[in-house]
Amino acid sequence: MKFGILINEGPFTHQASDTAYHFTKAALEKGHDVPRVFFYYDGVNNANKLSEPQADDRNLVKLWGQLAAEKNVDLVVCVAAGMRRGIKDENLADGFRISGLGQLVEAGMGCDRLMMFGD
């Protein structure tokens, strides 16, 4: 099965991003295809390389980047939502790229299921 993933919550304020990461990782390990993860609303904060979680906390920004590199997952940050929250190319974490809502539409049309995490 081919999944598109939409994340609407940041990495430190809600469980949705953590759940999305674990869902995506598990789906890939089971042989499913996850060609794109789209970060929207506060979800764009998952791409901020300037975030510094405590040493004993998970680093979702880094984990997403590693997953993208290992499994060839396209991590797309919504340009409009990113600009509103100060996410620009210069503070974008490794593995992420900025693009428009057309990438979300394309993911939804090209996948069997579009999974949304967060409000």
Tell me if residue 111 is catalytic.
no
Q: Which of 37, 47, 67, 78 is catalytic?
A: 78
Spell out the residues 6+ positions from residue 18 whose beta carbon is closer than 8 angstroms to its own: 11, 58, 60
Contact 38, 116 (CB under 8 A): no
Q: Which of 34, 112, 118 is nearest to 81 (CA)?
A: 118
User: Where do the H-state alpha helices sit in 1-119?
Assistant: 16-29, 60-71, 79-84, 102-110
Q: Which of 31, 35, 30, 13 is nearest to 117 (CA)?
A: 13
Backbone angles phi, psi at 35, to 5 degrees: -75, -25
Q: Which sequence positions are flagged as catalytic?
A: 78
